[in-house]
Amino acid sequence: MPLTLMYITNNVVTAEIAQKAGVDRIWIDMEYIGKEERQAGMNTVKSKHTVEDIKRLRPVVNSSELMVRVNPIHEAGPMWCDSREEIENVINSGADVVMLPMFKSRSEVEKFVEYVDGRAKVQLLFETAEAVSAIDDILSVSGIDEVHIGLNDLHLSYNKKFMFELLCDGTVSSMCEKLREKGIKYGFGGIARVGYGMLPAEYIIAEHYALGSTAAILSRGFCDANIVSDPKEIEDIFIEGVRKIRLKEDEVSRFTHEQYEENRKIIRKKVEEIVKIKAEG
């Protein structure tokens, strides 16, 4: 079964282009509480999407799902409402899937499931070392539909240099095994375009299939709409980019065990090279 491809945007035109090209989920990213401090100085995505963006995109996102990442479980503050009200607003505005980031404990997940109350798909974003340590307890909570392993913040939580180190040290594979045992759908990390970057997407796609993953984020390396502003250029990138991903998926889905192991060796080698460059830089 093809990977569920997800792309973050609050731009109506870009959302329509991505949907038409075959992106499965358009992602509104409302998480901001604590994120600026956590990722200070890092070149990471810090979206400032709102409930109004959900309302604008809902009418045009009709063949793809509309997913919303809310803030971590929190109380009301001077600048924001509490989690219950935030999730209520998100669901009432039309979210199909609601994602919880940065949780560390079972109790946070229980509250999240309670607040969603079966009105949308519940997706957990594992991205703290504490959550990974408590994974058995967390996965015993009833009502979890999907899990995504967020390599960006998770590798920071483990003080790693590069997010894909977690593919090489057994962290991701161990989590995937537990998720398979529970029968919960899962995905991890993001992919850029096939053939691009220091760790090209084709190797990561093969690892998704080797680990039984069902979802991946299309990263800024796939299409950074903050840099590419021409709709025709964005459309060309998405159509060709998604087509090549699907072709690569078809190829790797037929890999033998030996081919998956060879792909894993290539990933380890490339990750080691990237970590070395980062350490020297």
Q: Which residues pair with 190 in a beta bridge?
A: 217
Number of other residues whose CB lies within 10 A of the CB of residue 65: 19
Question: Sign of dihedral through CA atoms 238, 240, 245, 250?
Answer: positive
**269 phi and psi angles, rounded to 5 deg:** -65, -45
Interval 234-268: pLDDT, tens = 999 999 999 999 999 999 999 999 999 999 999 99
DSSP for 133-165, please give it: HTHHHHHTSTT--EEEE-HHHHHHHTT-SSTTH
Split the chain (281 residues) into runs of 10 and give each run's mean pLDDT: 96 97 98 70 66 98 98 94 98 98 98 98 98 98 98 96 97 98 97 91 98 97 90 97 98 98 98 94 73
pLDDT of 197 reads 78
Host H or E run for residue 126: strand 121-126
Q: Which residues share a beta bridge with 135?
A: none
Write down the CATH number for the domain with range 4-280: 3.20.20.60
> At residue 84, what are phi and psi to the nearest 5 degrees?
-60, -45
Q: What's the pLDDT at 198?
A: 82
CA-CA distance, 198 to 120, in Å (whole number)?
37
Using alpha carbons, select from 207, 197, 134 the residue that is nearest to residue 167. Answer: 207
Tell me which residue of 86, 138, 151, 70 sits closest to 108, measured CA to CA: 138
| Rounded distance between C-alpha atoms, residue 149 and residue 138, angstroms | 14
Tokens of 164: 């894909």
pLDDT at 85: 98
User: In degrees rounded to 5, what are phi and psi of residue 3?
Assistant: -65, 140
Confidence at residue 205, expressed as pLDDT on a 0 to 100 scale: 98
